[in-house]
Structure formats: structure tokens, C-alpha cells
Amino acid sequence: MTHARQRPIQVVAHRGASEEAPEHTLAAYRKAIEDGADALECDVRLTADGHLVCVHDRRVNRTSNGRGAVSALELSDLAALDFGSWKSRDASGRPRVEEPDWEHRPEDREATSVLTLERLLKLVCDAGRRVELAIETKHPTRWAGQVEERLLLLLKRFGLDAPTAAEDSPVRVMSFSARSLHRVRAASPTLPTVHLTQFVSPRLRDGRLPVGVRIAGPSIRIVRGHPACIERLKQSGHQVHVWTVNEPEDVELCVRLGVDAIITNRPRAVLDQLGR
Ligand code: G3P
Ligand code: CA
């Protein structure tokens, strides 16, 4: 079955334009905005001194020239690291991306420094057009509410914590943790939340989400393997935001099923495929 969609499918840049540029850097997000992405996805973690930074892994080893857990490092420690060079060459020195549209320029340090959520919010606010932000809380249980608390305080500073209506909000909070989403909704009931999942629970199979959540965030594997589940979610009135959709045939499937957002490492390629 093909579902009617109220709004055009949204193209969300996963960790920025992360196929080409180093994920979670200003360089990757600037490129995503240039590429025409409708929204940006980012993961957030707390540093040892309480700053929210955009880093996917628990440790910085993969995406920087440093070592250690984000939670054990202070912002000043992270600021000394280079989060860009790893993307240019692999361990054997070969370029990772052939003919990248993004070039590592060491003189533009900010572009590949650790990215705070505050800086990313500023980028979005200064974009000159509407660019939405999908913020994922990582390992929120460990911090007993601190991630959400800091997040909401920061959003408040930008006037983004309490939209008048969920559907108008340029920011949404995503998590694999229903508890994290619950904390966000308890403090800010109109901020939209997205329940991320990579497994098909009986609840999801029935097209249901945790109480209060309106947006489902299934992996593309779920969409491929259980399209009926996506149809049920849509029939129940939920939005569906799918990650991480990089292959043209998966984009096609998402369009056919009427999903609301495609989260991708290659926003320009997906926009091209959608004729935008
Ligand atoms: O957008 C959701 C997706 O990012 C979840 O997986 O591991 O890439 O954060 P991960
Ligand atoms: Ca993520």
C-alpha cells in the first residue's frame, strides 16, 4: 500500500554530510546545509565538565587523533583534538573518499574541532533558511537525567525548548531510551520526541509506540523486513523517520511506504533522487 504524506519527505543529514566530510564536525554540517538538507541529525554526550558535545562513540578514538571516553574528558581536552584528519586517509594512508567535495583545510581549525551542541544550534539559527535539528541523546541512563536537563537548558537559551505546537518545532529529540524521551516530555511536553529502534517489538508490530511518543525511528532493516509494521505505524497516525538510508533502492522503498523523513549520510544524492 502507498500512503499519502501531508508534507514532502524530509531529508535529514545523518551526522552532517558524513559520507564525504568527517561526521559531527562543522565542516559536515555546513556541507549538509549547502547541499540543501532539510534537517541535521546529531548525537550528544556530556563531557566530564558538563558540556554537550556532538560525538557518536563513547570514546573519541575512531573520529579524532585522541583517546579516551568523552565522559572522562573536559571540553578543553577535546578542543585540543583534530576530528577531521581521520576522514581524509585510512590506516594505510589511502584516501577514504574518492574526489571528495570536502577538503580538509588545517587552517580552518573550527571546521574540524570538537563540535558543541551550542555551536551547532548557532549554525542552524544562522542558516538563513529553515533547517531542523534532530538531536539524539546517547547513553542517557548513565547520567540520570543530566543529558536531558542540560539539553533543555541549552534549547531554552535559543528559545527552542517549548514550541507552541509539536508540528512547528524545528528541533526534536531522539533516543533509543524511552526513559530519556519521557524525561524530555515531562519537562517540555510540546517538544517532539522520536523513539529509535532496531528491533521489532510486539508493540511496534502493532503500530504502537511508547506512551506520548508520536514519531517512530526504525532502522532501514526494519523497514525492509517488516514493511507492514511501517504501514501500521502510519495508520495509527505516527510519523516515521528512517535511518540510515544510503542506497537508492532503500530511498525508493521509503518513498513507496510514505515515510516522513529519510536520515542519510548522503543528503545531496537523496535529494537528487527525489528530484529536488
Ligand atoms: O538517526 C538515528 C541513528 O543515528 C541511530 O544510530 O548509531 O547512527 O546513532 P546511530
Ligand atoms: Ca545518531
Ligand 1 binding pocket includes 23 (Cβ within 6 Å) = no
226-251 burial code (b ≥16 CB/10 A, e <16)? eeebbbbbbeeebbbbbbbbbeeebb
Catalytic annotation on 14? yes
**What residues pack around ion ligand 2 (CB closer than 5 A)?**
43, 136
Residue 75 has pLDDT above 60, yes or no: yes
Looking at the CA of residue 12, tell me the nearest atom of ligand 1: 1
pLDDT per position as a tens digit, 77-115:
999 999 998 887 766 767 676 666 667 777 789 999 999
The greatest distance separating any two alpha carbons of the chain, rounded to the nearest whole angstrom, comes to 53
Ligand with the closest atom to the CA of 39: 1
| Residues 183-203, mean pLDDT to the nearest whole number | 96
Q: Which CATH superfamily is domain 10-273 in?
A: Phosphatidylinositol (PI) phosphodiesterase (3.20.20.190)
Q: Are 171 and 147 contacting, i.e. CB atoms less than 8 angstroms apart? A: no
| Residues 214-228, mean pLDDT to the nearest whole number | 97
Q: Are 103 and 18 contacting, i.e. CB atoms less than 8 angstroms apart? A: no
pLDDT per position as a tens digit, 237-254:
999 999 999 999 999 999
Q: What is the pLDDT of residue 88?
A: 78
Indicate the residue type of 274.
L
> Please, where are the H alpha helices in 73-188?
75-79, 85-88, 117-125, 146-157, 178-187
pLDDT higher for 157 or 105?
Answer: 157
Q: Of 14, 51, 104, 241, which is the active-site residue?
A: 14
Ligand 1 binding pocket includes 263 (Cβ within 6 Å) = yes
Ligand 2 geometric centre to CA of 220 (Å): 14
Domain boundaries, the chain: 10-273
Ligand with the closest atom to the CA of 198: 1
CA atoms of 59 and 179, how far apart (whole Å): 23
Q: Of 3, 24, 51, 56, which is the active-site residue?
A: 56
